[in-house]
Structure 1
Amino acid sequence: MTAGPGTPGGAGPGPEDEWSRIVSDLEDVRRAGDRHLTGPRDWSPGDAAPGGPSAGAETAEDPGGAEDDDTPYSPDPGPVTQGLSGGALLSWTVLVGVPVLLVVLSLLPGSLPWWAIVTGLVAVVGAIGHLLRSLPEDRDDLDDGARV
């Protein structure tokens, strides 16, 4: 019985050799695809040319893109998503919390004191006033409000 390709003692390349070739090709493609995520200081123009001086020749001293390959891209959150100011957070909490508190207290047995209702209404009106006052004032007449 003769040994065929892929068996021990066979003449052709084995599945392990083929697998390692496929994996190395995929790593080269991945490095080339992630090059756009690194800044201009991380790679030189010679890296972009196929067969250039550093094509496929990464060393331990030159990290290239090997260390950056596993780090996920996280964009700058920008001014919109950095959170609310303390006053705006307090105003929204009062605007939502006081009516809910008044409804829960009114469901309890007994009557709700008049000063609790007045205090709640004043707090809600103050919160609405604060939120309206904190709106931006520099709006163009032709602006439809969309931001890019």
Structure 2
Amino acid sequence: MSARPGGTGPEDEWTEIVSGLEDVRRAGDRHLAGPRDWSPEEAVFGGPPAGADDAREDAQDDDAPYSPDPGPVTQGLSRGALLSWTVLIGVPVLLLVLGLMPGSLPWWAVVAGLVAVVGAIVHLLTSLPEDRDDLDDGARV
């Protein structure tokens, strides 16, 4: 490769780029020992931003492990919903396994299984929340 007319070659430019990225690499290394005594804003912009003391306190909080707030989705199922889902999944599997075994399945077992599955579906549908915000598309952040 030939050098540019300005006197800098590609190797010199590459060395300059790599030395500029050294600060970025150090900012991403979380395994370095000791607390950071500089912020990424200082490395990029050359000085502390306005309100740097507050930013340092927030940065220390950012290094703490994140534990999400358990929302209504992760709080678990009610006993009725858990029983309904168990019946909805378990009874057809049980009927299938019993149907594959030698001998015939009694008619009352099939009817009882179907009634249980229909009851589980009805319970799950009636326990759905009825109030819904028209502007809510269901997305969570």
Partner of 1:27: 34
Using the TM superposition, give the Cα deviation of residue 113 of structure 1 relative to its aligned residue in structure 2, in angstroms.
0.1
Give the 5 Å matches for 1:6-85. Answer: 26-29=33-36, 48=56, 72-85=65-78
Query: What percentage of residue pairs aligned between the two structures are identical?
Result: 74
CA 1:47–1:69: 2 relative to 1, 3 Å: closer
Amino acid at match of 1:27: G
Task: Give, in whole Å, the separation in 1 of the partners of 2:90 and 2:115.
Answer: 13
Q: Which of 80, 90, 107 matches 1:97?
A: 90
Greater than 2 Å deviation, 4+ residue runs: 30-33, 45-49, 68-73, 140-148
Larger relative contact order (CA 8 Å, sep ≥ 6): 2
Could you report, residue by residue, the CA deviation over 1:11-58 in whole angstroms, capped at 9, with x for unpaired residues? xxxxxxxxxxxxxx952307979xxxxxxxxxxx68959xxxxxxxxx
CA 1:88–1:29: 2 relative to 1, 3 Å: same
Task: Give, in whole Å, the separation in 1 of the partners of 2:72 and 2:56.
Answer: 35
Partner of 2:132: 139
Amino acid at match of 2:110: I
Residue ranges of structure 2 left out of the alignment (5+ in a row): 1-31, 41-52
Partner of 1:22: none
Using the TM superposition, give the Cα deviation of residue 85 of structure 1 relative to its aligned residue in structure 2, in angstroms.
0.8
Aligned Cα root-mean-square deviation (Å): 3.3
Aligned residues: 96
Task: Give, in whole Å, the separation in 2 of the partners of 1:111 and 1:124.
Answer: 21
CA 1:115–1:27: 2 relative to 1, 3 Å: same
CA 1:106–1:141: 2 relative to 1, 3 Å: same
CA 1:74–1:31: 2 relative to 1, 3 Å: farther
Higher helix share: 2
Q: Which of 104, 109, 112 matches 1:111?
A: 104
User: Which deviates more from structure 2 when the two are superposed, residues 136-145 or residues 95-104?
Assistant: 136-145
Residue ranges of structure 1 left out of the alignment (5+ in a row): 1-24, 34-44, 50-64
Classify the secondary structure of the residue corresponding to 1:135.
coil
Amino acid at match of 2:35: D
TM-score (norm 2): 0.55
Task: Give, in whole Å, the separation in 2 of the partners of 1:128 and 1:115.
Answer: 20
Could you report, residue by residue, the CA deviation over 1:46-71 in whole angstroms, capped at 9, with x for unpaired residues? 8959xxxxxxxxxxxxxxx7xx9996
